[in-house]
Every structure is written in structure tokens, then in C-alpha cells.
Amino acid sequence: MKPDRFKSTCSYCGVGCGVVVSRDSKGKIKVEGDATHPVNQGMLCSKGMNLHYVVEDKSDRLTSPQMRWGKGHDLVDTDWDTALDRAAAVFKSLIEKYGPNSVGFYVSGQCLTEEYYLINKLAKGFIKTNNIDTNSRLCMSSAVMGYQLTLGEDVVPVSYEDIELADCFLVTGANPAWCHPIIWRRVEKHKELNPDIKVIVVDPRKTQTCQLADLHLQIIPGTDVILYHAIGRCLIERGAVDIGFINGHTDGFEAYKQEVMKTSLEDASELCGVKITDIQLAATYIEDAKGFLTMWAMGLNQSADGVDKNLALIDLNLITGHIGKPGSGPFSLTGQPNAMGGREVGGMATMLSSHRKLADPKHRQEVAAYWGVDHVPSEPGLTATQMIEALESGKMKAVWVICTNPLVSLPDSNRVENALKNAKFVIVQDISSKASVIPYADLVLPAAGWSEKEGTMTNSERRISYLNKIADAPGMALPDAEIILRFAKKMGYNGFEYDSMGDVFREHCQLTKGTNIDISGLDYDILKTKGTVQWPYVSEGQSPVKRLFEDGKFYTPNQKAQIKVCASKASNEPVSPDFPLILTTGRIRDQWHTMTRTGKVNKLNQHIPKPYLEIHPIDAEARGVKENDTVIVQGHRGKVKVPAKITTDIRQGVVFLPMHWGKTFGSDFSRTNNLTGNTIDPISKQPDFKYSAVQVDKF
Ligand code: SF4
């Protein structure tokens, strides 16, 4: 590769497409798909194709630290030393007065692995708080628990290569045609070449993904467990389960069988709103498959019973023995580009580095010894929504927000706003001066963006890639890792002296030694030579581990996978005569999260320029609502004003809002999360964005 052409990875979703970044003769940045990359083979989706605009357009970038000298004062520019002296002075004083749990960090699945690693080390090892959580809590913590409880560890057992080896796909709670487009292009191509393969899509909406479906099960929201159990029941009744695999490699089948037999197909059909013949057809497709892949995303995870939904789905792979075999396995589609890297470094309030368990004293001691500290606190930290509660109640005093906008992405936006107002000290570390959280900040720290720093990310299939620094950050903006390192020194902590980011990565890799995600054989040089590597990677020259559990041995204490019985009732927010409709939220094709980057690309804004409410014609007619009428969507916590889009693609009784718009990009009323609530899954603590009771009225 010429010295002015750099390989990198797209910074948007967890698919992890490879890109080649170069400059043309006029010095303009050009981004192309990397034709040699194993994930995308040169393909890019609309977001990836427009990455160069994000690099070039610095018009909204934060270029200097800013500080308020007191609440109510204006933000004023300052220098890094003054800003970080202030941050350290405030943190030290709060920790001394109220204890280490009075502060916390709320970070992002878009942070690079090295950044994640350092923030965790700083919080858990040195400040002595586990109050470090991430917006990944909002997208995949239910999948983490689903994997842990069934397979013994948070591991994605498959690779993208399994797509071309599968002959039945069950895609549920996901719209990969829009949200994981390059994965979906591979499924489409596979079906084009092999028309007999079957695609089952489960979704209350007829999404773009359904265009490829042989069977669309337009489920009533919240009834997923009942549906998967009904499919499981069909498979058991037909003898279409793998008894050899069940007896040799799993526990729990008899209890599962008893549970699924409790609900007749007639009852399940009624409860899910899916025809019995369609449930039976789904079972037939699975029964006939040699390779069976389940794929899911937020539709399952963002739920009051997100973990149960994961368990009931993974159970279908386990009872049919479709795991550890070509084209088979449960495949959680990661939303963010480095949610996986965050999981690997233990980047959440309930986790510890390298998939070690926070509750295990031996694991805590291993990590503490490695970091050269006396202990890591045992008590789980506050998760994303718990931090908001704690800021609101005053239990937590200060929060440091890195690379995410809680005012748009967290549920119950009005509560988030109150919590930030109530906090004693808020630090916002971001790239954009337009982030709507900035007015609540006491200290604003300008960060370098994608391509302005080096580091690594892990995609949905355990593939680690190295990201080159290609351009300089504007003004005084610094890489997030550099900001954390400077802050650690201001706090007086020893243990943050590194010559390079490569040293930080090496430290993380060595901490994985002996674990199931061992990457102790890896370093930047190997990544730069090989391009990307899937974990585990214990030694140089090791063959890629495409698929886990091929030997039938799982990561549980007895090496057997656990077929889990789960209750089929969720504590969803009840609908009522006042709020009779179920609101579900999600992404659109060309926007990413809170639109900090995609929102400033004209080409991407043209696809869907403003928010809208999808509503079924019968529900619209009952309210006198016509196409494009402005409607007020009212819920228990707030309201939203948007134009109506009337479509039979959504179930009657259900309405849909895209998640992206916040105050910055529209009126106060367009913020979708004014309506979502604080119901969380009791195990994963993931908030429910898919089931809020609302009413819709013509404005
Ligand atoms: Fe980027 Fe995801 Fe699109 Fe690939 S599929 S180009 S990673 S946004």
C-alpha cells in the first residue's frame, strides 16, 4: 500500500467494514471499501461511503477546552492544563467528601479499545469505583447475559463466513437490511445463488429486511418468548431436536420441554398474533436446515425481558444442536463499532477485564495485581439509567460523559435533563460543539474523531482491526486516550505511563492471557501486517478461530451448554384506554445514533430528512389522521410532535418512531425518548425502548 493510502475500519456499526482512506490530487480525503477485507470485500453502505465528509467537515468541531467558573456562568475557552486541573480538583474533592461512588463515567461503544481499557483501569483500579458504564448498556447487555447464561461466557460463537454456509436464517428484532447493511448484502447474495435457503423474519413491522423473507411473523410486541417456545414445542413434537447433542452437551432440556408444552399452539398463536400454520412453517424450515443461524439485535435486547428473549432464542439453537457447526449458531448483531471491544476490556459497571467476573474475588485480585493496585471494588457500579437516577437523587455528584449524548439516546429524556441539571459537576468529552448535552456541562473537552487517532476495535464476529491515524484533529482537540492519561496524572496516579498506544494495547492483550478471549499473542505490528485478527489469538501464526464450541465443550463449569427455562411474561408498561398504542423505536437507514456525524451530511439527510410516526391506517382513521398530518404522540413521561406516515407495514395497535432526532435537529417535541421509560430488564439492566404505552392525536 502506498504511504498516502491507509487502511482503517468504518466507524459506524458493528459490522466492521474495512476502508481505504487516501487523498486525491487536491488533498481531499477519499474513502473506499477495502476490496481485500474479509468482512465487506470492498462493499460499503451509504454511511460508510460518506465517511469522508465527516473527516473533512470541521465546521462544528470543538477545538478548545471550555469551562464554566460556576453554575449559570458562560462556558469560556481555556487550556488543557487548567481544564484538567479543575477536573482533578473537583473529582478529588468529591471523592474525599462523598466517597469514590459519588463520581462516574458514562462512555460509548464508539470508544476505541485502548480508550475503554484506560477508563476502566482509571475508574475500577485507581478511583475505586465501578461506576463506569457505556451506551452499550442500551444495545447489547441483554445479549451479554444471554450468552453468559447459556454458553458460560459472553462470546459470539460464529463468524460472518457462516452466513454463506447457513440454509435457514431466523432474523428477529433486527432490520439488518438498513442497520447492518453489508451483512445483509451477504445474506441476499447467498439467497440469490441458493434460492432454496429460507429466511424467517420476526418483527411487528414489515421492514426492508422482510423483502428477502420466505416467512414474516408479524408478532405482537413483547411476545417473543412465547413464539420461540411455540417453535420449540413444534420441533420437540416432531422429534426434530438433536437428542445426541442434547444428552451429550447440554443441561436443562427436560425442564425446557415441560415449560414449552404448557402453552398450546392455539394459545401461543393468539398471544403472539401469529398464525399456527406460520409457527409450524418456521419449525419446518428449521427442521430441514443443515445450517441454522439465528440473528438478532435491539428488538430483543431493548426490552423488559430482553434476557429471557435471548435465552428462548438461543435455546432453539441448542435443542437442534445448531451450534459449533458450519452455518449454525446464535449470532447477536452488534450495533456499535466497538461494543465488542468494550465487552472485552470489561467496560461496563457489572464486568471486569477479559471477561473476568466482578463477583469472583480471585478474578478481582488478578486484575488488581496486574494493575499494581491493592484491590478492585466488588460492588457492581451504577448502570446507565441507574447513574441518571443517582444524579437526580444526588447520590452521585459528578459524571464524565465521553463520546455519547445521553440527552438524545437514554430513555426518559426529561428525567435525564433534570439529572444533569442536578449534578454538581458534568464533564462532556465530545467532537461536536452542537451536541445538545453541552449546555449542561461544567467542563467541555474537545476530542479527536475517527481517523484522527490510532487504536483498535472489535466487530460482531470477534474480529479486531487496527485504525490508522490519518488526519490531524482540529485546534486543541486530543485523542480520548490522551485526555484520560493526562487526567490520571493530574490525579496523581502511577500506572498510566505509556510510550505509545501500542503499549496500552499490549497491556490489555497480556491481561487476557489464559482466558477464553486470550489475545496475548497480538500486538499492533501483527495487526498492521495481517490487517485483522479474530480472537482468540494466543500466538503468532495461529490459525483463525472461525467458530467456537466445535468440540461440544462450552465455557460453563461442567462444559455443557445450559438450555434455559424462562418465564414468558414481561413486565411491559401496560396499555390503557388513555394510552392504548404500543410505541416501538429504532434506526433509519442513513442516520447514526444522535446524528452528530451523519446529521451534517446532506446526502444522508436526503433519505429521510425529518422524524415521522409510522401508524397503521385503521389506527390513523380512528383518530382522523391523514398522511403527513402533524400528530402529538403523548405518553406517561412526555410528548413528541411529528408528521404521520400511514402504512400497513406496521401492526395495528403499534406505532414506530425513529430514535435519532434530538433538540439540536428539531423542536423540543421531536425527541423520541421523551416517551420511553425507565423499565429495565432485571438481569441485564438494559432499558426497554420497544414497548411504551402512548396515545396519538391529530395536532
Ligand atoms: Fe460502516 Fe456498518 Fe455500513 Fe459497514 S455496514 S459501511 S461498518 S455502517
pLDDT digits (tens, 9 = 90+) for 42-62: 999 999 999 988 888 889 999
Listed residue (463, 371, 353, 366) closest to 117, CA to CA? 353
Same domain for 389 and 490?
Answer: yes
The enclosing domain of 179 has a CATH number of 3.40.228.10
- pLDDT at residue 664, rounded to an integer: 44
Where do the DSSP E strands lie in 253-406?
292-296, 329-332, 398-402
> Ligand 1 centroid to 9 CA: how many Å?
9
Same domain for 164 and 91?
Answer: no
Euclidean distance between CA atoms 70 and 91, whole angstroms = 16
Euclidean distance between CA atoms 102 and 122, whole angstroms = 15
Which residue, of 309, 332, 355, is where some domain finishes? Answer: 332
Which residue, of 307, 332, 357, is where some domain finishes? Answer: 332
- Is 542 part of a structural domain of the chain? no
Above 60 in pLDDT, residue 384?
yes
Listed residue (217, 181, 179) closest to 198, CA to CA? 217
Q: Which residues pair with 273 in a beta bridge?
A: none
Euclidean distance between CA atoms 215 and 1, whole angstroms = 45
- Is 510 part of a structural domain of the chain? no
- pLDDT at residue 663, rounded to an integer: 66
Same domain for 149 and 99?
Answer: no
pLDDT band at 462 (very low <50, low <70, confident <90, very high): very high
Same domain for 588 and 662?
Answer: yes
The enclosing domain of 51 has a CATH number of 2.20.25.90
- Answer for the pair 313, 300: CB distance below 8 angstroms, yes or no: yes
pLDDT tens for each residue of 563-616: 999 876 667 889 999 999 999 999 989 888 888 888 888 889 889 988 999 999
- Is 472 part of a structural domain of the chain? yes
Same domain for 219 and 104?
Answer: no
HEC per residue, 518-545 = CCCCCCHHHHHHHCEEECCCCCCCCCCC
- Is 92 part of a structural domain of the chain? yes
Same domain for 134 and 147?
Answer: no
- pLDDT at residue 3, rounded to an integer: 54
Nearest residue by C-alpha to atom 2 in ligand 1: 13
Average pLDDT for 323-349 = 92
What number does the ligand 1 atom closest to the CA of 183 have? 5
Same domain for 85 and 227?
Answer: no
Classify strands 132-134 and 613-615 as parallel, antiparallel or unpaired.
unpaired
The owner of cell 445463488 is 193
pLDDT tens for each residue of 635-646: 999 999 999 999
- Is 521 part of a structural domain of the chain? no
> Ligand 1 centroid to 165 CA: how many Å?
22
- pLDDT at residue 335, rounded to an integer: 82
DSSP state of 35: T
Domain count across the chain: 4
Above 60 in pLDDT, residue 560?
yes
DSSP state of 579: S
pLDDT band at 177 (very low <50, low <70, confident <90, very high): very high
- Answer for the pair 489, 496: CB distance below 8 angstroms, yes or no: yes
Cis amide prior to 446 (ω within 30 degrees):
no
Euclidean distance between CA atoms 82 and 449, whole angstroms = 22
Among 64-73, 361-370, 478-487, the range scoring the smallest mean pLDDT is: 64-73
Which residue, of 332, 357, 386, is where some domain finishes? Answer: 332
Same domain for 43 and 167?
Answer: no
Predicted-complex ipTM score: 0.99
- Is 259 part of a structural domain of the chain? yes
Same domain for 289 and 173?
Answer: yes
pLDDT tens for each residue of 3-25: 578 899 999 999 999 999 988 88
pLDDT band at 669 (very low <50, low <70, confident <90, very high): low
Nearest residue by C-alpha to atom 3 in ligand 1: 45
- For the Cβ of 10 lying below 6 angstroms from any atom of ligand 1, the answer is yes
HEC per residue, 10-76 = CCCCCCCCEEEEEECCCCCEEEEECCCCCCCCCCCCHHHHCHHHHHHCCCCECCCCEECCCCCCCCE
pLDDT tens for each residue of 96-126: 999 999 999 999 999 999 999 999 999 999 9
* Probe target for ligand 1 pocket from 7, 32, 44, 336, with the most ligand atoms within 8 Å of CB: 44
What number does the ligand 1 atom closest to the CA of 182 have? 5
Pick 544 or 205 by higher pLDDT. Answer: 205
Domain that holds residue 649: 581-698
- Is 218 part of a structural domain of the chain? yes
- pLDDT at residue 665, rounded to an integer: 43
Same domain for 267 and 325?
Answer: yes
Euclidean distance between CA atoms 613 and 672, whole angstroms = 10
Same domain for 235 and 111?
Answer: no
Same domain for 195 and 299?
Answer: yes
- pLDDT at residue 437, rounded to an integer: 94
> Ligand 1 centroid to 12 CA: how many Å?
6
pLDDT band at 509 (very low <50, low <70, confident <90, very high): very high
Average pLDDT for 217-243 = 97
What is each CA distance from 577 to 8, 435, 642, in whole angstroms?
A: 52, 37, 22
- For the Cβ of 182 lying below 6 angstroms from any atom of ligand 1, the answer is yes
Average pLDDT for 74-93 = 98
- For the Cβ of 160 lying below 6 angstroms from any atom of ligand 1, the answer is no
pLDDT tens for each residue of 648-666: 999 999 999 998 887 644 4
Listed residue (262, 241, 248, 260) closest to 317, CA to CA? 241
The enclosing domain of 133 has a CATH number of 3.40.50.740
Euclidean distance between CA atoms 358 and 281, whole angstroms = 43
Average pLDDT score, the chain = 94
- Is 473 part of a structural domain of the chain? yes
Grid coordinates of 53 = 465528509
The enclosing domain of 683 has a CATH number of 2.40.40.20
> Ligand 1 centroid to 180 CA: how many Å?
7
Pick 548 or 596 by higher pLDDT. Answer: 548
Grid coordinates of 5 = 493510502
The owner of cell 469472583 is 360
